[in-house]
């Protein structure tokens, strides 16, 4: 024996409520989509500001041989220490760029001498130029910072043919040396801090996918370790 609950006019009430429910669902979806677009727009604007106010270091090894990779790290150590000292008092990215631009010949000679001391006479080029980078996380004294993938201005150091795995870091704000990273995030604006301190999530993945396509269309390669 089964019991059936009968409510007079139930079907009619349900049919009448359907347009209201559909309207509420549409409004909810619109609010969610609007929130995502607003959040995504703010994140993208923050990424563009980070690109504008960040200066990277990009060292390209001559090859992937064990000796060339070891020499790349020797050049890295010498240049990281020297550039940190040079830009220690720089209060902005343009100031850091000017200091490094004026020091390009000296930085090249430092790299050459470092290579020669290790028995290598590969040519070296040092320049300030735009370069593509993928998403990168940095562990600092202030916590983990995430820099979005994109095209940054960089101090580019190419050893020999520059066909080996690369090494890179951030010259301004200084994240190359742990001791110098304290307070680095404070040099970013509030919008930029919201990006680099957010932690890796879907938005970073979307930005990197877009930037990889942009790099490919421009005929350039994204830096890879």
Dihedral of the CA atoms 61, 64, 67, 73 (nearest 10)? 40
pLDDT band at 162 (very low <50, low <70, confident <90, very high): very high
> Which pLDDT belongs to residue 137?
86
125 or 11: which leads in pLDDT: 125
Residue 208 is classified by DSSP as H
Q: Taking 90 as the threshold, does the pLDDT of residue 178 lie above it?
A: no
pLDDT band at 150 (very low <50, low <70, confident <90, very high): very high
pTM of the model: 0.76
Q: Taking 70 as the threshold, does the pLDDT of residue 156 lie above it?
A: yes
Q: Taking 90 as the threshold, does the pLDDT of residue 4 lie above it?
A: no
> Can you give the C-alpha Rg of the chain in angstroms?
26
> Which pLDDT belongs to residue 39?
47
Lowest mean pLDDT among 65-79, 97-111, 130-144, 163-177: 130-144
Mean of all residue pLDDT scores within the chain: 82
Is the distance from CB of 115 to CB of 107 less than 8 angstroms? no
> Which pLDDT belongs to residue 31?
44
> Which pLDDT belongs to residue 37?
43
22 or 7: which leads in pLDDT: 22
Give CA–CA dist 25/193, Å, rounded. 35
Distances 1 to 4, 7, 126 between C-alpha atoms, Å: 10, 20, 89
Give CA–CA dist 150/209, Å, rounded. 10
Alpha-helical runs (H) found in 54-129: 66-86, 93-102, 104-117
43 or 184: which leads in pLDDT: 43
């Amino acid at each position: 024996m089964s019991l059936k609950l009968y409510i007079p006019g139930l079907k009619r009430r349900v049919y009448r409520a359907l347009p209201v429910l559909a309207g509420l669902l549409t409004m909810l979806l619109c609010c969610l989509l609007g929130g995502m677009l607003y959040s995504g727009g703010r994140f993208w604007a923050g990424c563009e500001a980070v690109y504008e106010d960040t200066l990277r270091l990009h060292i390209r090894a001559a090859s992937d041989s064990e000796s060339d990779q070891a020499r790349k790290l020797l050049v890295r150590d010498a240049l990281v220490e020297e550039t940190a000292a040079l830009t220690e008092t720089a209060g902005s990215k343009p100031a850091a760029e000017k200091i490094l631009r004026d020091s390009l010949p000296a930085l090249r000679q430092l790299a050459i001498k470092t290579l020669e001391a290790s028995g290598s006479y590969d040519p070296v080029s040092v320049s300030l130029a735009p370069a593509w980078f993928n998403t990168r996380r940095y562990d600092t004294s202030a916590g983990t910072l995430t820099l979005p993938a994109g095209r940054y201005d960089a101090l580019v150091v190419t050893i020999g043919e520059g066909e080996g795995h690369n090494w890179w870091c951030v010259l301004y704000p200084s994240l190359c040396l742990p001791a110098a990273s304290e307070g680095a995030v404070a040099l970013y604006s509030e919008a930029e801090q919201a990006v680099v301190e957010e932690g890796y999530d879907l938005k970073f993945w979307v930005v990197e996918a877009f930037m990889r396509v942009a790099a490919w269309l421009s005929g350039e390669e994204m830096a890879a370790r």
